[in-house]
Structure 1
Amino acid sequence: MDLIPIDDPADPRLADYRDLTDVALRRALEPAGGLYIAESAKVIGRALAAGHRPRSLMVQEKWTADAAALLAAHPGVPVYVVSATVAESTAGYAVHRGALAAMHRPELPSLEETVADARRVVILEDIVDHTNVGAMFRGAAGLGADAVLIGPRCADPLYRRSVRVSMGTVFQVPWTRLPDWPAAGELLHAAGLHLAALALTPDAVPLDAFASDPPRRLALMLGAEGDGLSRRALEAADTIVTIPMSGGVDSLNVAAASAVALWALRPRGRARRG
């Protein structure tokens, strides 16, 4: 392991952690494909286990043993050892978990590859809050979804906050980006998925009724806070489903709603449609 002490937050070797925003990291032309930042040993470990390649690590001295363990299969990756003060000055926030890694972005798989054997898929349309995206990936992983598909304007699952909130499950659940509607609907139907839109409409089917005999292969569609799913998304849906509410509340936070629906629609026993 190549340990490199650095005591100056302006050191050019820390540029990946300092000079680029998450959007700029994603769009960087060098290295090809761009970068993302993973935070904490647990999240970095999950990224490495998923086959993602590290470009460098920035760690505080007390975390060097963890860095050595993480990089056992990646000799030659530089590890920049910094103080807590330098880490905060460089990253722009307190790095409480002691380690950051600049990771190469992997090439996204095709939609067909991502959903080939999936029985439960989650679709995120125009969800721009990174915390919600991370929470929905965590729910998808914990509640048995086989894949996540994100629309063209959805927030980046590899944004630092999304990764952190997901506890690294963005590396565990297969995901890729969808084209816009109606092309997305055509591809999903061609893949054999029943599209169930979670929305508040007069003709929506209550979740418990829909869950009593769900399709065998199902994609659950969720839209942004407030606006919900777009008209074109609803037009592509095979069924519109709603979570019955009480107490004068009309809906749940989108991450909470996705967890409730995934639990209710988890595969079990025999299912009605192929």
Structure 2
Amino acid sequence: MSSIQDMNNRMKQNRNLRPSKRQKFKANNRETLYKESNPEDRPKFKEFSEFQIKKTIYKIRKRAESERRMDLILIILIIGIISLFIAYFIFTEENSVKQNTDNRTTTNDDTTQPIIWNGKLSDPLELPFSDLYYAPKIKGLDLNTQIEKSIEINLTTMVADSTINILFFDSDCNLIRELLPADGHIRWMYTGPIKENMGPKRNLYALSKDDTNNDGLINDKDTDYLFISEPNGKGLSKVTERRINSMQWIGSGNELFIEFPNPNNFFNPQKQKDSLYGIFNTETNSLRLTNQKINN
């Protein structure tokens, strides 16, 4: 019996010797660490109330939330600016030719209104600065039938939607020729220069002659280029193999100053690496590239 009691006592002593049961150094009697020091030199341990602790934690959390919110706002602003930047360059790239052809604008509001053409070849449209006439050939419409139609002609573009060719007539309204031997797509036509005492007059076109996107059709989805011809449509030739941003007549009217898309523009799909400008001579049908801009 005594051996069992002795074993129980030893087990109890062993449990009391576990690390979890041991007293920490000086335990709660921390004051004895400094018993040999003067009371005034002993460190004072400041205690905080539960309210102060909660208030401090609340402030830290609020500050962290505010910083996260500011970071999120900054990211949204950066994404928004980049999106606007991309949209701006895409928009200007697609609409630059229409918006920047200086000599095709007019200050008379009446002349910017479209006219309604009856579609009859016996009653073609007047060609500016000449005694000639012209008629746009429109996809799906038979101009040889003498049924009066209502075709809207924009005086700025001089053609109708889905124009596939141009027919030219002499002063007696007799057919001279078609502009294209095979129909294509003509986005706009322009006769100029329009300024007084500038000439000779030429016709400019934004037209597509080939199926550039290989969809089996030639329409407004294909790439158009700048072409030039005599007022009667004779001598049609391509001015440049490059897309253009704007153009204007210079000198006495025998040269055309052209601005190309900026080759340093990151959003320029053509990734051009040459000149920004070109000067086309209408007498020699030659294009000279330059990096020097010519003022009006």
Of the two, which has the highest radius of gyration?
2
If asked which structure has higher relative contact order (CA below 8 Å, sep 6+), I would say: 1
TM-score of Structure 1 vs Structure 2, range by shorter chain? under 0.3
**TM-score normalised per structure 1:** 0.25
